Amino acid sequence: MLIQSRDNGFIHPRSSEITPRGVYEGRRDMLKWLASGAAGAAMASWAARDALAQVAAPGKLAPLPGVKSTVPGAQTMEKVSDYKDATSYNNYYEFGTDKGDPVKNAGTLKTKPWTVEVEGLVKKPGKYGIEDLIKLSAQEERIYRLRCVEGWSMVIPWVGYSLAELIKKVEPQGNAKYVEFVTLADPKTMPFVGSRVLDWPYAEGLRMDEAMHPLTLLTFGMYGEVLPNQNGAPVRIVVPWKYGFKSGKSIVKIRFVEKEPGTAWNKAAAQEYGFYSNVNPNVDHPRWSQATERRIGDGGGLFAKRTKTQMFNGYEAQVGQLYAGMDLKKFY
Ligand SMILES: Nc1nc2c(c(=O)[nH]1)N[C@H]1C(S)=C(S)[C@@H](COP(=O)(O)O)O[C@H]1N2
Ligand SMILES: [Mo]
């Protein structure tokens, strides 16, 4: 497999995609700054911060700021999606199957108190209260594309820390090969748990090296605030190089296991959703192409222009190595 980065994983945006007003207003400053040589990653985060200022959360939830992450791939020059889009166009089947259902129905989710149980093949299993889990490591802001298997995408400033930080603390045993994430399934507060679309609880999993990759984010917030319920409060996973469904919401158990765990969508339709589910424009879903995607919020509805989907969702430079030698048509 070719693992050659064109430009450190940054996407060259069309000029229309870097239009935050501040960039224009600050053009002279920027030119001066560029001339000073302090470009590169610093510039990306500068542009991103500006973009963020225009799509800020309304401030109704508790603040959860994170420092700009320096993990390679964790910043982008692409325009950040509007908070409103990111919080009203969701997949969270426990609250309904329409994109508009989670924002309407997830108000019943009770996120306090909340514990996450770490169990299975680890030397230090235990139960973490959500407040302690948040404090376990420094919060970082990571601006990731989230590409849904259905063909749409968004760019979201997440807040959290690398899952690897937690994994190192709990010390997996040598035979722990996979990490399983079990999410809440509470029929009292989640109206669609019990519906026959999926096998509840919604569970997901990663191979140990995927779980340990610095881009895999244990996520507590977005847009500088704690997660809204519909986005998976109080804690979810975000795995930016995989289709969105790998990023389980409202996690209650992190389990270390020896065998590849069953996962919600794989159990529902194995021929359509594999365990790996890496974003791959060259492997079509049996019922539709994965070659292009539609950025939510770009306008134009059904006729919105579609952009080319990138291998590993644009994170090939960072994660391609994990799959060296694997036939990605077989391990889709
Ligand atoms: N528990 C749970 N987690 C879930 C889902 C779900 O239905 N239940 N949907 C997944 C899918 S298909 C996607 S695309 C992302 C959407 O995340 P977002 O709504 O924050 O954009 O969440 C994923 N995590
Ligand atoms: Mo999805």
Cα 219 to ligand 2 centre (Å): 17
For residue 231, the ligand closest to its alpha carbon is 1
Q: Answer whether 75 contacts ligand 1 (Cβ < 6 A).
A: no
* pLDDT score recorded for residue 47: 56
Q: Which domains does the chain have, with CATH numbers?
A: 2-323 (3.90.420.10)
pLDDT mean values, one per 10 residues, the chain (332 residues): 34 34 37 46 53 76 97 95 96 98 98 98 98 98 98 98 98 98 98 95 98 98 98 98 98 98 97 98 97 89 84 98 97 96
For atom 15 of ligand 1, the residue with the nearest CA is 244
For residue 221, the ligand closest to its alpha carbon is 1
Q: Answer whether 144 contacts ligand 1 (Cβ < 6 A).
A: no
Cα 250 to ligand 1 centre (Å): 10
* pLDDT score recorded for residue 271: 96
Cα 195 to ligand 2 centre (Å): 18
* pLDDT score recorded for residue 305: 82
For atom 19 of ligand 1, the residue with the nearest CA is 90
Q: Which atom of ligand 1 is nearest to the CA of 231?
A: 20
For atom 1 of ligand 1, the residue with the nearest CA is 249
- pTM: predicted TM-score of the whole model, two decimal places: 0.86
Cα 60 to ligand 2 centre (Å): 26
Cα 180 to ligand 1 centre (Å): 16
Q: Answer whether 146 contacts ligand 1 (Cβ < 6 A).
A: yes
* CA diameter of the chain: 60
Q: Which atom of ligand 1 is nearest to the CA of 102?
A: 19
Q: Which atom of ligand 1 is nearest to the CA of 201?
A: 1
* pLDDT score recorded for residue 304: 73
Q: Answer whether 228 contacts ligand 1 (Cβ < 6 A).
A: no
* pLDDT score recorded for residue 29: 42
Cα 26 to ligand 2 centre (Å): 37
